[in-house]
Chain A
Amino acid sequence: MKKQINFPLKMHRRYWLQRFQKFGLFTLGAWLSPSFVFAKKEDADEAIQKITGNAKIQDGRVTLTIPPLIENGNLVVLKVSVESPMTANDYVKAIHVIAEGNPLPNIFTVYLTPRSGTANITTRVRLADSQRVWAIAQMSNGSFWQGSAETLVTLSACTEMV
């Protein structure tokens, strides 16, 4: 037997006001938290799109290594390694590294040849915040492959008064 709830008029208003309040808080929360992340991620997606056009990007073959916990984001060792025979017929043409959380998503691009031997690159980058970084490899046959790494960036203690 279904229980019927009979609200007096005051209760009706209170009931709906509480509902709206909860909804409003939820909306505020949703607006405040994910949006800052999404804004940067959109820039990163746009940068990646400029590189690949509308081509499909496959996951795999690309390993991006950055330390999972970074004490200072000013100089972070970053390694990219792409599986490839690196022969004249099958080699990595370019590797693009894109950051989701930096003011500018593009960090660097390297251009390789069959004379490169390997598609292993090490450099040192700036990471503005805890974020995910992407490496997009462009193969000689026109295909795109991707890998990523996520990291937490903290800050050194007792920083300078600028």
Chain B
Amino acid sequence: MSKTSRTQVTVPASAKKNSIIEIRAIVQHDMESGFRYTESGKLIPRDIIRVFTCSYNNVEVFKADFYPGIGANPLIIFTTIATESGTLEFKWLGDDGYAAVNQARITVV
């Protein structure tokens, strides 16, 4: 059974063909680093999002590997070329079977 959480993506609804668009993606996740201890001195195990990918009409156009040094509720801002109208799909995969997916449609004129 995979666990999941809320995500939010910001993609322009429309763009000129071959223009560069900015994409923002943020996800709700504690990103437990694995370097913290409980009050009784027990190590809290690592529990983070490991990989983020963005696909544009099923072609992967961006990927990021996250390590414990990424802050809680990870935000990533990157760019891509608006090649054609279609769907951008965003995936987050992490420890303990974590998985989250979000989508955005873009119209390229």
Direct contact of A and B (CB under 8 A): yes
Task: Tell me the total A-B contact number using a CB cutoff of 8 A.
Answer: 89
How does the 8 Å CB contact mask read for B40-78 relative to A, with 1 for contact and 0 for none?
Answer: 000000000000000010010111111111111011111
Q: Given A112-B62, A115-B61, A124-B74, verify A104-B67 contact (CB < 8 Å).
A: yes
Interface: A138 (CB within 8 A): no
> Cβ of A123 and Cβ of B70 under 8 Å apart?
yes
Q: How large is the interface on B (under 10, 10 to 19, 20 to 34, 35 or more residues)?
A: 20 to 34
> Cβ of B69 and Cβ of A108 under 8 Å apart?
yes
State in angstroms the CA–CA spacing of A99 and B63 once bound together: 20
> Cβ of A120 and Cβ of B78 under 8 Å apart?
yes
Q: A106-B69, A125-B71, A127-B69 are in contact. List 15 more A-B contacts (CB 8 A).
A: A75-B72, A99-B69, A102-B69, A103-B35, A103-B68, A104-B67, A107-B67, A109-B64, A109-B65, A110-B62, A113-B61, A116-B80, A123-B64, A123-B77, A124-B71
Interface residues of B (CB under 8 A from A): 20-21, 33, 35, 39, 56, 59, 61-72, 74-81, 83
